Amino acid sequence: MSDQFYDLFAGVTTNIPSDLTDIYMGLKSKESWMLFFNYLYKNGEKIGSYLSDLYTVQVGDKLGIMKASDNTLHFYLNGIDHGKAFPNLPEVVYGFVDIYGECCQVSIINKESATGAGAEAQVAIKKAPNFSGRPAEWNVRTGKAVDFKDTIPPTHMSRCHGGVAIVWKKQLDICITPLSDGNKRLQSIEIRGAQPLFVISVYLPCKGSTDSIEEFRECIDLLNEINAIYKDTHNILLGGDLNENPIHFTNSKKSNYLLEFIKEHNLVTKDLGPTFIHQNGYDPTCIDFFLYGKKYSSSIIKIIKLEDIPGTYPIITHCSKIEI
């Protein structure tokens, strides 16, 4: 795990596991006691702090959760009891652990197999030898979450947001450099070669978010800066969730900002049709695109949409090889 790429929270709940189909609603609708970073939450409300901080958990650490005989809840880290977290727990509760981010595996172990971790350790967090069957090929290297710094646990947010990330095969490490250009909604890398490629992953604000127009314009301004800096030395490929349609424009401020950006840098794209289907099964929208300069068009072999994924359809581009 990396301290930039994970959220970990653990605790107990009165929810019956088989009934817990929606974590967010489940942990708020019934009683729950949870540790997130070093904050204690009861029924979704922060009630205090705790000695142990889950933000410091590393690969190989063992986290234990114990309901003591006096109905108090304790958390253990590598066999050390960090003290009483909650009093007066009900007789029957169920333990849970949830993790988001750069983690290969969370393993549940019993106290007999928790060697060296203390008799009460119940959950081991370790690096897995296998991930999707091919762990050695991929290397998650750079990404950002829109609400990463929010102290509210993801399960208790009214609406969890997404983020941006770029993943590549380890064998390409020698020619890829993660870049700091952009903000929390823009992630960039440089692929070095005879004609370097500047890749930008974007997640622009949606219509319903607070201050979305101002934030959208801020992102467009940053993209203008990036294009101004790199357009003479790099090919630029931008892809992701634009939350606007760069082919069929409207009179909205966001649409106009995007149109000006595309015209200024002479960008083109491909219309793949709807890429997002609302959970009601209707209201399809076209919000996911690749944008690139006309001079790079000859390097785009094809762009396709995968329609067998429910909800959001991933889009894929195949590009010509870069001469190193």
Residue 19 contacts residue 26 (beta carbons within 8 Å): yes
What does DSSP say about strands 123-126 and 32-36: parallel, antiparallel, or unpaired? Answer: unpaired
Cβ contacts of residue 252 below 8 Å, gap of 6+? 244
Which parts of 179-314 fold into alpha helices (H)?
Answer: 212-230, 253-264
CATH architecture of 162-319: 4-Layer Sandwich (3.60)
User: Nearest to residue 216, comparing CAs of 241, 198, 235?
Assistant: 241
What would the CATH number be for the domain defined by 6-126?
Answer: 2.60.120.920
The reported pTM is: 0.57
User: Nearest to residue 170, comparing CAs of 132, 128, 134, 127?
Assistant: 134
Q: Where are the domains of the chain?
A: 6-126, 162-319
Helix (H, G, I), strand (E, B) or coil at 40: strand
| pLDDT tens for the chain, residues 1 to 324 | 444 445 677 888 888 776 665 555 445 556 889 888 888 888 878 888 888 767 677 777 788 888 888 999 999 888 888 889 999 999 888 888 776 555 555 565 554 444 333 333 333 333 333 334 444 455 556 767 665 555 565 555 555 567 888 888 878 888 999 888 888 899 999 999 888 999 999 999 877 655 688 999 999 999 999 999 999 999 999 999 998 989 988 899 999 999 999 999 999 999 888 887 766 665 567 888 999 999 899 999 999 988 766 667 888 999 987 776
Helix (H, G, I), strand (E, B) or coil at 190: strand
CB atoms within 10 A of CB 3: 11
What backbone phi and psi angles, to 5 degrees, belong to 307?
Answer: -95, 5
Residue 166 contacts residue 189 (beta carbons within 8 Å): yes
Cα–Cα distance for residue pair 189/316, rounded to 1 Å? 17
Helix (H, G, I), strand (E, B) or coil at 235: strand
